[in-house]
Amino acid sequence: MSLNLGKHSFATTDLVVMAIINRTPDSFYDQGATFDDKAAMDAVDRAIDEGADIIDIGGVKAGPGIEVDAAEEIRRTVSFVEAVRQRHDSIIISVDTWRHEVGEKVCQAGADVLNDAWGGTDPALADVAAQFGVGLVCTHAGGHTPRTRPHRVTYDDVMADIVQSTVGLAQQAVERGVRKDAIMIDPGHDFGKNTRHSLEATARLGEMVQTGWPVLVSLSNKDFVGETLDLPVDQRLTGTLATTAVSAWLGARIFRAHNVKQTRQALDMVSSIRGDRPPAVARRGLT
Average pLDDT over all residues of the chain: 97
Whether 256 is a known active-site residue: answer: yes
Q: For 143-172, what is the mean pLDDT?
A: 96
Judge whether 159 and 131 are in contact, CB under 8 Å. Answer: no
The fraction of the chain above a pLDDT of 70, given in percent, is: 100
Q: Which CATH class is domain 3-274?
A: alpha beta
Residue 98 CB neighbour total at 10 angstroms = 22
Cα separations in angstroms, 172 against 36, 169, 230, 274: 37, 5, 39, 34
Q: What is the pLDDT of residues 38-89, one digit of tens each?
A: 999 999 999 999 999 999 999 999 999 989 999 999 999 999 999 999 999 9
The domain locations on the chain are 3-274
Judge whether 225 and 236 are in contact, CB under 8 Å. Answer: yes
Residue 50 CB neighbour total at 10 angstroms = 16
Instruction: Kindly indicate the confidence band of residue 159, based on its pLDDT and cuts at 50, 70 and 90.
Output: very high
Whether 236 is a known active-site residue: answer: no
Give CA–CA dist 249/268, Å, rounded: 11
The predicted pLDDT at position 1 comes to: 80
The dihedral through the CA atoms of 29, 257, 203, 170 has a sign that is positive
pTM of the model: 0.97
Q: What is the pLDDT of residues 216-264, one digit of tens each?
A: 999 999 999 999 999 999 999 999 999 999 999 999 999 999 999 999 9
Q: Quick check: 287 pLDDT over 90?
A: no
Instruction: Kindly indicate the confidence band of residue 129, based on its pLDDT and cuts at 50, 70 and 90.
Output: very high
Judge whether 97 and 114 are in contact, CB under 8 Å. Answer: yes
Q: Which of 105, 222, 236, 264 is catalytic?
A: 222
Q: Which one-letter amino acid corresponds to residue 70? A: A
DSSP 113-124: EEEETTTTSSTH
Judge whether 224 and 198 are in contact, CB under 8 Å. Answer: yes
Give CA–CA dist 69/7, Å, rounded: 31
The predicted pLDDT at position 35 comes to: 94
Q: Residue 163 CA to chain centroid, in angstroms?
A: 17
Q: Which of 99, 105, 236, 256 is catalytic?
A: 256
Instruction: Kindly indicate the confidence band of residue 31, based on its pLDDT and cuts at 50, 70 and 90.
Output: confident
Range with the poorest average pLDDT among 23-32, 100-109, 117-126: 23-32
Instruction: Kindly indicate the confidence band of residue 150, based on its pLDDT and cuts at 50, 70 and 90.
Output: confident
